[in-house]
Amino acid sequence: MQFPFFAALLASILHVLAGPDHLAAVTPFAIESKRKAWKVGLYWGLGHLAGMICIGILFYFFREIIPIEKISEFSEQLVGFVLIVIGIVSVYKIFYKKKNHKHLHVHEQNPIIHGHEHQHLPGGNHHHVHKKEQKQSNLTSFWIGVLHGLAGIAHFILFLPVLAFENQVDAIVYLLGFAIGILVAMIAYAFVLGRVSMLTKTDHNDLFFNGIRLAGGLFAIIIGLYWIFYAG
């Protein structure tokens, strides 16, 4: 029982980390999310599993009716366009900063929740992630994960060992290990990126922090272009 689990765990981790399109989709969001970057990885992983399950069900029950290959090819192309959009938005945010905005908060002298405008000054110690932006990043990561799960019939190669197991318990254990591996790999990747991003921002090294953001955005754009013109 242990062998199917660890075999699937290793296969799924390699599947996630060996896919530059997987990493490119999460990188910009993880950098922006900083402390909560692990949630970006979690939502992408859940979406990826959901997409793989959907395409698997369609292939198993409706492969003679629904053109599964066409759905997969369309999803692959769409992944490329989405990556380009993510990269462009990420780069845009570096050069466009909204200086004045409001937050609800509490002062020690006045324990009443209220809000007022404030500025983000260069070099200032003002660091936070807006809840609305964090929620949008999580949901976007989830749906990109779904697209990745739908893209590529090659995903089924990873499920082939299930057919070789003599009992259902081993098959279930393999699938469980595969799911855990996907989640662990992307959560770990996003967490590390978030920590690096947070440390550079905490040290007031805005140049390095924006450099990481720019690299993440360009990474997404380059992989998106490659995915459309060469991998599709």
pLDDT one-digit tens code per residue, 125-150: 444 455 666 677 788 889 998 888 88
Q: What is the mean pLDDT of the chain?
A: 77
Strand 100-105, strand 114-119: pairing = antiparallel
CB 11 within 8 Å of CB 107: no
- Both tokens assigned to 5: 């689990």
pLDDT, residue 119, reads 47
Token pair 């990474």 is found at 219
For the segment 210-227, the average pLDDT, to the nearest whole number, is 89
Q: Is the pLDDT of residue 176 over 70?
A: yes
Q: Is the pLDDT of residue 86 over 70?
A: yes
Q: Which range has highest mean pLDDT (140-144, 161-165, 200-204)?
A: 140-144
pLDDT band at 114 (very low <50, low <70, confident <90, very high): very low
pLDDT, residue 33, reads 81
Domain chopping of the chain, boundaries: 2-96+128-231
Q: Select from 16, 56, 52, 27 the least CA-distant residue to 141.
A: 27
Give the CA distances from residue 125 to residues 85, 88, 116, 122, in Å, rounded to whole numbers and listed in that order. 30, 27, 18, 9
- Both tokens assigned to 120: 């983000």
pLDDT, residue 96, reads 76
Token pair 């242990």 is found at 2
pTM of the full structure: 0.74
pLDDT band at 200 (very low <50, low <70, confident <90, very high): confident
Q: How far apart are the C-alpha atoms of 134 and 146, rounded to whole Å? A: 19
Between these two residues, 229 and 61, which has the higher pLDDT value?
229
Between these two residues, 77 and 193, which has the higher pLDDT value?
193
